[in-house]
Chain A
Amino acid sequence: MKKASLREAYGRTLVELGRENKDIVVLDADLSGSTKTQMFAKEFPERFFNIGIAEQDMIGTAAGLAVAGKIPFASTFAIFATGRAWEQIRQSVAYAKLNVKIVASHGGITVGDDGGSHQAVEDVGLMRILPNMTVIVPADAIEMAQVIRTVAAYNGPVYVRSARIDFPVIYEGTDYKFQIGKGNILREGNDITIMAMGLMVHFALEAASLLSLQGIESRVVNMSTIKPIDRQLILNSARKTGMILTVEEHLVTGGLGSAVCEVVAEEYPVPVKRIGIKDRFGISGKPDKLLSYFHLTPQDIVAEAKQLLNSKPRLLRAVG
């Protein structure tokens, strides 16, 4: 299976954008080698600002650059971007409705060995709750590149989450075009809908193949925009398959699962099961071991899907 780095895709796309538009500027907080903003820094040193280990100041500086008409991309690890600088993002970026792009690497538990202090499991929730903020979690390197181009052209605050590890490539050779606020149906099926974000999109596709062998046909959706969430697609899926499984490398509260539940509960109640991290922080370990430990594998998705299908009549009685 071909894998590719979202971080590399980010770095490469930034360089392309930098060549096309002199107003693209990039900031980092001493992690430019990891976030790959270093690629931009090498080609455009005068438009790259290393703010040092000072994430709050980095966000404020990015806000100032946006006030003056620049298109700043500010990068660091997800937990430092969204946690350490949350109130700066709230006040100086979201409240001000400024054109700042916060692109964080190292989302989720696949950060691995560094442990829970460095694994952002709440970043999407922290950003999703902010008015004016757009939140995007790309599923592979190809989508990442498209997302970066799209948000550079969009005027407003955006949070993009990528990861430390390489993701399986999904969109190679397709004519997929990312659009803010649009989920993408990757596989059709009538029995159950699996909605996922980030790395979990590929796992959902694997799970769908396994389920198909057992005669269960799944609709698989890449819900790369978490905010604004694609309500139409959620409601359409709810009507079509009567149940939704959400999968995210994030807490089950605040992220994709919550967003889907909010829409379904208010507009078309169907059973929803959320797969993700359950009210706890991450720990050290190799990424693949951690994915198993946190029950975030294709096999886990299969098991949850079957359980949801089996409980459907009971759940429907409950909501009916």
Chain B
Amino acid sequence: MDFIRNIDCLRQIAREVRKDILTMLNKAGSGHTGGSLSAVELLTALFFAKLRHDPQKPCWKDRDRFILSKGHAAPVLYAILARCGYFEREELLHLRELGSRLQGHPDSKFTPGVEVPTGSLGQGLSMANGIALAARLDGLSTRVYVLLGDGEVQEGQVWEAAMTAGHYKLDNVCAILDNNGLQIDGWVKDVKNVEPLAPKWEAFGWAVLEIDGHNFGEILSALDKAEEIKGKPTIIIAHTVKGKGVSFFENKAKYHGVAPTNEELERALKELENA
């Protein structure tokens, strides 16, 4: 796909993606609103301005790969994939329905553009490492991007995988941490504190970049910079707001796994239109 580096264009796409997320969640009647909205800019930048991929040829061998390790944010991935052209946007309205290709959590068996199934947290980085090791063996220039949640890094396997990527110096792996501060039971710092994050990843042999995860300028420059860092994997710790873009969803743990009602959808779409 041709890259879009114009920030106004990316903002426009992000706004449309947010509307799609809210609309499909409302139609489905269930799903994960907050953690989808917090990752909109991150995925928009990645898919429209960085990832070498081709919706017409989803299995192109040398493509870059994206793994949504925080699989519950499936709606944002589906909205982006549809907008990229992997499937029709109309299909988004069948999210979570029996017979739909859009499963509640990403499933590579059904959905074009989904590389691996996720949903059980903590497993995406290991798979990213495997793809990165294979690319290295095959001499491919593939880069592997993986989106982690901040609550997700409470899973031990994340740190096993972090150690592996550090040990094998997988500079073709770029993790992005959607650091929205909330998990189902409340603030991450209250449930079980994961901070300090940057020194942890550094200690595991990673380069760490910290950005505002809703600022396209910062996201693009971090993604560019990560590509230039050699000899170690990079993690971009993106500070985000759960529920971002809809004032009454922002920073509310309650909206982790709740879909907008009809009334909430109407208010939210109005708010996005006027933003």
Contact = CB atoms under 8 A, between A and B. Distances in A.
B134 interface: yes
Interface in A46-96: 46-47, 49, 51-52, 54, 56-57, 59-70, 72, 87-88, 90-92, 95-96
B246 interface: no
A63 B132 CA distance: 12
Contacts of B215: none
Q: B108, B115, B131, B163: which has the most chain A beta carbons within 10 Å?
A: B131
A33 B273 CA distance: 63
A25 interface: yes
B117 A67 contact: no
B119 interface: yes
Nearest to A29: B160
A65 B157 contact: no
Given A49-B133, A96-B109, A59 B115 contact: no
Given A61-B127, A88-B123, A68 B134 contact: yes
B13 to A, nearest CB: 28
Contacts of B61: 69
Interface string A97-108: 100000000000
A96 B161 contact: no
B211 interface: no
A146 B119 CA distance: 36
Chain B interface, DSSP helix/strand/loop, else mixed: helix
Contact of B117 (A54, A59, A68, A91): A91
Contact of A62 (B115, B117, B119, B130): B130
A47 B120 CA distance: 28
Chain A interface, DSSP helix/strand/loop, else mixed: helix
Given A70-B134, A96-B116, A61 B129 contact: yes
Contacts of A46: 137
A90 B120 CA distance: 10
B207 interface: no
Given A52-B163, A67-B116, A96-B116, A60 B134 contact: no
B261 interface: no
Contact of A56 (B119, B130, B134, B156): B156
Nearest to B167: A52
Given A91-B120, A96-B108, A59 B134 contact: no
B44 interface: no
Given A59-B126, A64-B128, A97 B157 contact: no
Q: A47, A57, A66, A95: which has the most chain B beta carbons within 10 Å?
A: A57
A281 B116 CA distance: 36
B126 A56 contact: yes
B135 interface: yes
A64 B127 contact: yes
Interface in B94-109: 107-109
B116 A57 contact: no
B164 interface: yes
Contact of B131 (A49, A68, A87, A97): A68
Contacts of A47: 137
B126 A69 contact: no
Contact of A68 (B108, B130, B157): B130
A54 B108 CA distance: 25
Contacts of A95: 107, 117
Contacts of A90: 120
Contacts of A72: 130
Interface of A: 25, 46-47, 49, 51-52, 54, 56-57, 59-70, 72, 87-88, 90-92, 95-97
24 contacts: A25-B133, A49-B133, A52-B163, A52-B167, A54-B160, A54-B163, A56-B126, A57-B129, A57-B157, A57-B161, A57-B164, A60-B157, A60-B161, A63-B126, A64-B133, A65-B131, A65-B133, A67-B116, A68-B142, A69-B134, A72-B130, A88-B126, A88-B157, A95-B107
Given A25-B137, A67-B130, 18 more contacts: A52-B164, A56-B156, A56-B160, A59-B126, A60-B130, A61-B133, A62-B130, A64-B130, A64-B132, A67-B116, A68-B131, A68-B135, A70-B134, A88-B123, A91-B120, A92-B116, A92-B126, A96-B109
Please provide the 3 A-B residue pairs with the shortest distance between their CB atoms, ordered closest to farther.
A64-B130, A60-B126, A68-B134
